Amino acid sequence: MPQLDHIHGGPDLNLDDPAVFQKWADDRNRVSLVMFSPGIDSTSTLVRLLKETRHQILVHHVRILTDEGRHQLEAEQTRKIIAKCRELYRDFHFSGSGIDHRNLPIPGPGHNLIAVGFEAGIIANASKAGRGKMIDGWTIGTCREEGLDEARMQLAKSCCAANCHPHPAAPFFLLPMVTKREAAELIPRELRDLCSNCRRPVKENGQFIACGDCQTCLHLMGVEEPVLLLHNPSLHPSAIRLYDEVAERLVAMGLRAKTCHGAATYDFASFDTLISRHIVAPETKRWKRTLAGNPLPRPEEMVLLADNNLPVMQWSLAATKEEVAELFKRWDCERILLKKSHTFGGEGVSVFTRDHPLEELSWDSEIDIFCAEVNPDDGDIYKAELFNGEIIITWRSMASPLREIANSPYLNKIKGAYGERELIDFPPDLTAKLEVLSRDLTARGISYVSVDFMKDPTGTLRAIEINLSMIATWWTVQFEGMKDRFATAIAHWLSDE
């Protein structure tokens, strides 16, 4: 028996050097074979060869019959993609073959690659017999994220080489590698819509739909627009419920939305659009649509509120204890609150009277603020929650006045808005100002926010702070209208972009 040295495949073509690629692409006598499946990677590979080379292109689809019947869908998708590529670019030769794997427990899709290599050798030999010329190279579709299984690829190339006998093995090549996102962007939307975008499609009501969880689905979620990731860093049950139910509403509107709860180590790069209740890493903001939390020092928060024509409480910075003592005279008040920046839930808020030794206070004179008690007779907190220029929910938390809570010259950690609650309506003029503020914040890339108010003795609602991240959800999640309005506001933002 003769020694068949070529059955392990010839050397691969390396096209990473731009000069080598261009010389290779310009060879009009070269015949290149694409072993085709109707996915994004194969389709973009075919499109690139049709557009970027002068080669004679052969395309072959191996129809692998399976018990689940997915081969029927792929055959139809392939037919449509081939027709559209001929319409958009240029003519090429197309062929197909079938391998019946029904009733066989084939362990995973990796064996399909070996079968594809086997068929590539058949096509190479058929080209020699029918056209008088062996193919000059063959390829498949892949992407940078997925790469190639080298062991299986070597077996596939060996199968191809064996079926090229008695002729030299057809060399394998890959076009310069791109990401899944880049591959999808290389082909027009009308072609992309014809592609299969899932490794493990689920059969529902007689039709295959994308699973949404395989790596291909995740990589492609940033391609179909709008694709939204609602990022909720909290694992509190109310926060999970809120964001999951808002995502369900968005999906019902025809938008593609997913949620991510907990640690911020999610593959954000798989998504085109991100909305987070929390601060996100700067690199995620490279997308054209990103909204996230962005806490500011308290002085900047108060200036922001005043610049948007909202009535605000009396407040001031102070550098010395003498300046603090002067505030009692200026405001003619019994109690002053010290509110430290970048604190939450009342942790950084203390209240003191004239009788408290000021030397016992500590604060950052540049970012911590002092403010007068808004109303000695009313401790209620009024909240408005906002997103993209829309009022999502307004409510009141009832609380006792400070004199009933702080019965000593000094009290640290004033409890936040945790009293009995009820839904309320804000005055129309204040609502209009809040809508303007919310639109301004959205334009700055800031996500869901809330503004806190208290009533002064004249009945005027005065802003006391704005919360620019991690808005509590444990009470508001119960209201269906709140979730409806939040989902609608997100949809409006996506359509405005």
Distance (Å, rounded) from C-alpha 431 to C-alpha 423? 15
Of 192, 218, 249, which marks where a domain is finished?
192
CA 416 to chain CA centroid, Å, is 32
Domain CATH for 341: 3.30.470.20
Residue ranges, the chain, pLDDT below 50: 1-9, 222, 225-226, 264-265, 285-287
Q: Give the position of tokens 């005043």.
A: 306
**Which candidate, 199, 210, 203, 195, places its Cα nearest to that of 67?**
203
- What SS3 class is residue 478? helix
Q: Is 29 left (phi over 0), alpha (psi -120 to 50) or beta?
A: alpha
- Mind spelling out the 3-state secondary structure of 185-198? HCCCHHHHCCCECC
Distance (Å, rounded) from C-alpha 119 to C-alpha 126? 10
Q: Does residue 225 share a domain with residue 155?
A: no
Distance (Å, rounded) from C-alpha 315 to C-alpha 341? 13
Q: pTM of the predicted model, to two decimals?
A: 0.59
Q: Does residue 99 share a domain with residue 182?
A: yes
Q: Does residue 88 share a domain with residue 31?
A: yes
Phi and psi at 96, nearest 5°, equal -150, 160
Proportion of the chain in helix, strand, coil states, percent, rounded to 5: 35, 20, 40
Q: Give the position of tokens 């992407």.
A: 143
Q: Does residue 456 share a domain with residue 403?
A: yes
End-to-end CA distance of the chain: 69
Q: Give the position of tokens 């689940």.
A: 68
Tokens of 333: 């008040």
For 403, the domain range is 298-468
Q: Is 437 left (phi over 0), alpha (psi -120 to 50) or beta?
A: alpha
pLDDT of residue 359: 87
Distance (Å, rounded) from C-alpha 47 to C-alpha 333? 75
pLDDT of residue 255: 84
pLDDT of residue 337: 94
pLDDT of residue 263: 59
Of 272, 291, 310, which marks where a domain is finished?
291
Q: Does residue 307 share a domain with residue 263?
A: no
Distance (Å, rounded) from C-alpha 397 to C-alpha 379? 9
Phi and psi at 459, nearest 5°, equal 90, 0
pLDDT of residue 288: 54
- Mind spelling out the 3-state secondary structure of 232-272? ECCCCHHHHHHHHHHHHHHHHCCCEEEEEECCCCCCHHHCC
Residue 91 burial (CB count, 10 A): 10
**Beta bridge partners of residue 62, listed in sequence order:** 97
Q: Does residue 378 share a domain with residue 230?
A: no
Q: Burial-class residue 497 by CB neighbours within 10 Å (0-12, 13-18, 19+).
A: exposed
pLDDT of residue 273: 84
Q: Does residue 438 share a domain with residue 330?
A: yes
* Within-domain flag for 479: no
Distance (Å, rounded) from C-alpha 96 to C-alpha 87? 20
Burial 160-181 (b: 16+ CB within 10 A, else e): bbbbbeebebbbbbbbebbebb
**Beta bridge partners of residue 273, listed in sequence order:** 228, 289
Domain CATH for 114: 3.40.50.620
Q: What is the largest CA-CA distance in the chain?
A: 109
Burial 307-344 (b: 16+ CB within 10 A, else e): ebebebbbbbebeeeeebeebbeebebebbbbbbbeee
Number of domains in the chain: 3
Q: Does residue 283 share a domain with residue 354?
A: no
* Within-domain flag for 200: no
Q: Does residue 80 share a domain with residue 179?
A: yes
Distance (Å, rounded) from C-alpha 112 to C-alpha 107? 10
Distance (Å, rounded) from C-alpha 104 to C-alpha 99? 12
User: Tell me, what amino acid is at 361?
Assistant: L
- Long-range Cβ pairs for the range 204-209 (8 Å, 24+): 208/70, 208/73
Q: Does residue 41 share a domain with residue 150?
A: yes
